[in-house]
Structure 1
Amino acid sequence: MGLIVISNREPYAPQRDEQENLTWMPSIGGLTAALDPALQHAGGTWIAWGEQHPEVSEVELPQGHPRYRLKRLRLSDAEVRDFYHGFSNRALWPMSHYFIERTRYQADQWQAYVNVNRRFAEAAVDSYREGDLIWVQDYQLALVPRMIREALPDARIGFFWHIPWPAPEVFRTLPWDCEVLDGILGADLIGMHTSEYVEHFQAACCRALDAETEGDTVRWKDRPSRVVARPIGIEVSTYEELAARPDVEDAAERLRHTLQTQILLGVDRLDYTKGIPERLEAFGAFLDRHPEARGKVTLLQIAVPSREQVESYRQLRSRVEGLVGRINGKHTRDGWSPIQYIYRGIDRKELVAHYRAADVMLVTPLRDGLNLVAKEFTASARDGVLVLSRFAGAAEEMPEALQVNPYNPEGLTEVLLQALNMPLSEKKARLQRLRERLRQSDLRTWAEQFMRDIAAP
């Protein structure tokens, strides 16, 4: 029995070495860390968009010790524009995160989405061997399970939706709500991060399709689909081991020595769902309300570039940088600036050093499917406090975090004061309970359990 994984992004990225040969480096991210080992063990095929060097249609991975095949689909510029930047990220993404005012529901982009989903499904059918498990990933490929089902009625198919599933009245704004639900219900097993998302999905099936639901099962077109809450984990031991390394600890100490203050840390992709402007404004209000904190607290905000070709994201960057300038201009004194702003990606080692240095980790998205940064910080922290938005999917698993409403700046300023003044014994106790829960549902456990459930009749 082999495994077929289908995702928009590929697990290894091609790069040119000094001799201009292509080398394949593992992509950073939970999906690669979870499913690359599974594919290396089971064998099979990973199907993904070949964004860079699309002339390479197939490659055996890992390079030098091949265990499975990566099948790379070449998308035209029009398909990237309409399927990816268009329908996936200007319709499904904002709708799922409750940003209805940002949605663009365009029929030509929907048609591109259908066509590209069909190409992924056809690649899976071509790769399928009897007994293989098929696991489709995320909102870009919601139609693929049904398309595969029509060609392979007896295949075992799983699907995981990695972003929030919104309340039914929000989902129903999508003109193709029935088609998306029908596509997903081609899977035998459907996974989401929280029980709330599962409830919303089942309610959408009832209202839009008049499908039958009972327990964790939705019955549609005479087939049952199980819908389960399975929040993804992280590589807990990897983060713990990295955090314990002397060079990482030294880097954290250098950061602390440089800033000479308590450190509030934010690490986010620069996306409007992450609540970075709201966080900055709340920190500015905190300094206004607590002038005694000036010179004693620094907000270190790392913003990872995202979708820079999209105008709304460029506008967000301008807004964020404007807020940083305004707050720093108002409060900077005696060599201290309240906000240190970094606009770039950072590697895992540097990231963990920042986690180790932080006194308070601010994870305050306006809406987030899960948020792995909260889990990474928990696994890496020395004795920091996690401040977590109630609208992050991870909040359901992390009750020991200080949970906040990111839309309430006054409430956030009060929680900041609580976090900065929390006794060390309480910090350690909260972290210990959070870590124990992380270890019980790490990344490999998540992947192995989900695959077992796909295979179960």
Structure 2
Amino acid sequence: MSLVVVANREPLRREGDGWVPAVGGLATALLPVLERRGGAWVAWGEKDAGSLPLLHYPPAAPRFAVHRLFLPPREVAGSYHGMANRTLWPLAHYLLDRVEIRRDFLTAYRSTNRRFAEAVLSLWDDPHIPVWVQDYHLMLVPALLRAARPQGRIGFFWHIPWPPPEVWQVLPWLEELLAGVLGADLVGLHTAEYVDNFLATCRLLPGAVVRGQRVLWQGRAVRVEAHPIGIDTARFRRWAAEPRIRERAARLRRAAGGRFVLVGVDRLDYTKGIPERLAAWERLLEQHPQWRGQATLYQIAVPSRTRLESYRQLKRRVDEQVGRINGAFMQDGWLPVRYLYRAFPPQELVAFYLAADVALVTPLRDGMNLVAQEYAWVTENGVLVLSNLAGAAAVLPEALRVNPYDVDGLAETLHGILASLAEGRGRRTWEARRAALKERVAALDVHGWAARFLASLEQAPAVPAGPPRRSAAAPGAATAAPEGPLGGGSPGGSA
């Protein structure tokens, strides 16, 4: 074993009688890393974890094991559906009107984090093996691991935006959460902006001292670095060359029935800007009728968090928009929006990328957005339209950047792109942009991302570890947990 990944979500999903890679940004990014390095992935086993606590993958020649935790339903409701999805997620995306502050969420979150920490400790017997904790679901895990393995190599990566401190200050438990993250040796975020915001937020933590890109905390120096994530470029290149995928792309273009194809690929989440995008599409067809019958938008919306009422409301809104646009503008079998409410495996998405003249990646806020990189890497003749509020905008400057809130501006941008493509104008400019984007995506390759982060994690700490000092937030975390090696109960069906 050379690596332990700790993440809320499993990297595999059941399909028929077997298991296949899960759909989603984190699994897409980290699964190939673990396949290459070997090791373990500790995750919440959403289904059947009690009867199937351990999976080996790939089945024919296993490279890693998935240790699947059982979490009590009430804890899932408070920690995952509550603290993670109704508190931390909207807060990190600057949507403060959606943030719910509930102490029962925090209690469940503490308990879940302790279960994860215990599961890791049950299989982590060599402190030289790095442990890589992922994302906002598990902010307390690094400090819990540090308390049990003071000399361990612990990394933490934050995959969503890290907003400035004035946003975080609405959260009553900020100090406890920050102290949890600072149990790591290295904290990674996608962009320099997020790093600056994180360091500024740490200045709010009593006892923390920020020096450059380090936070001095409890006798240690925690390094904070930008490590923009990438995609598995070799895998996407291979998929793009498959005859089956290319024929599928040709069928998608024929089915569209017009001259131009545009595509949007998103989880159905209120941060992704789908209603605003559809409003811009509707505005384009209203104000520039020459594109009716000529341009089709494929909008893929992957079902997400369907138990939450806010997400059900979003689906109703999007359904109504699609129905209104298609009802107003459809003609002779042409639909302006082909709406696909389902998940597609990554190789199937490649067909949409190859088919599309334009990709619309217009989230209202996004940590990175790998769809932007996937499209930029795969497309042969397309234009990437990218929100200036996505982390990807910082690493893909040659994309055509837009303000996702500016419906009229986005509509006019699309009109300009379609006109230039129809008239053959700016061909060399588009070609130069595509070539530059491909170079950037190649440099961001997911294996390089993981190698760079892990190489930095394995560096010797700049400040020797000293005796741990209890933070102001630690007492609250300690008193909330039931009995167990960490004060947190058993991991429930892990190793």
Question: Which TM-score band (shorter chain)?
Answer: over 0.9
Q: Which amino acid is 1:89 matched to?
A: N
Question: How far apart in 2 are the matches of 1:211 and 1:413?
Answer: 47
Question: How far apart in 1 are the matches of 2:137 and 2:177?
Answer: 11
Other-structure match for 1:50: 45
Question: How far apart in 1 are the matches of 2:337 and 2:64?
Answer: 46
Give 2:325's match in structure 1, choosing from 324, 327, 339: 327
Contact 1:383-1:424 within 8 A present in 2 as well: no
Other-structure match for 1:272: 270
Contact 1:273-1:365 within 8 A present in 2 as well: yes
Give how far 1:264 is off: 1.6
Other-structure match for 2:5: 5
Give how far 1:40 is off: 4.8
Q: Which amino acid is 2:202 matched to?
A: C
Contact 1:278-1:406 within 8 A present in 2 as well: yes
Deviations 1:388-436 (A, max 9, x none): 0000000001111110001111111121122223333222211110001
Q: Which amino acid is 2:108 matched to?
A: A
Gaps spanning 5+ residues in structure 1: where? Answer: 18-22
* TM-score of the superposed pair, with normalisation by structure 1: 0.95
Gaps spanning 5+ residues in structure 2: where? Answer: 421-425, 461-495
Deviations 1:200-237 (A, max 9, x none): 11000012436211221111122111111111100112
Give 1:85's match in structure 2, choosing from 77, 81, 93: 81
Q: Which amino acid is 1:90 matched to?
A: R
1:242 and 2:239 matched = yes
Contact 1:60-1:69 within 8 A present in 2 as well: yes
SS in 1 for 2:271: helix
SS in 2 for 1:207: coil
Task: Give the ranges of 4+ consecutive aligned residues of structure 1 lying more than 6 Å apart after TM superposition.
Answer: none
Q: Which amino acid is 2:410 matched to?
A: L
Q: Which amino acid is 1:341 matched to?
A: Y
SS in 2 for 1:421: helix
Q: Which amino acid is 2:42 matched to?
A: I
Aligned CA RMSD, in angstroms, stands at 1.6
SS in 2 for 1:191: strand
Other-structure match for 1:20: none
SS in 2 for 1:218: strand
Q: Which amino acid is 1:186 matched to?
A: G
1:444 and 2:447 matched = yes
What are the equivalent positions in structure 2 for 1:153-192 lying under 5 Å apart? Answer: 153-192=150-189
Contact 1:14-1:53 within 8 A present in 2 as well: no
SS in 1 for 2:381: coil
Q: 1:42 to 1:336 in 2, by over 3 A?
A: closer
1:118 and 2:117 matched = no
Of residues 174-183 and 66-75 in structure 1, the stretch that sits farther from structure 2 once superposed is: 66-75
Contact 1:232-1:442 within 8 A present in 2 as well: yes
1:108 and 2:104 matched = yes
Q: 1:61 to 1:265 in 2, by over 3 A?
A: closer
Q: 1:13 to 1:250 in 2, by over 3 A?
A: closer
Other-structure match for 2:397: 399
Contact 1:269-1:305 within 8 A present in 2 as well: yes
State the identity %: 50
State the aligned residue count.
452
Give how far 1:16 is off: 5.0
Other-structure match for 2:459: 456
Deviations 1:61-81 (A, max 9, x none): 332323433221101110111
1:425 and 2:422 matched = no
Q: 1:359 to 1:14 in 2, by over 3 A?
A: closer
SS in 1 for 2:389: coil
Q: Which amino acid is 2:117 matched to?
A: A
Contact 2:297-2:338 within 8 A present in 1 as well: yes
Question: How far apart in 1 are the matches of 2:312 and 2:84?
Answer: 19
Give how far 1:247 is off: 2.2
Other-structure match for 1:27: 22
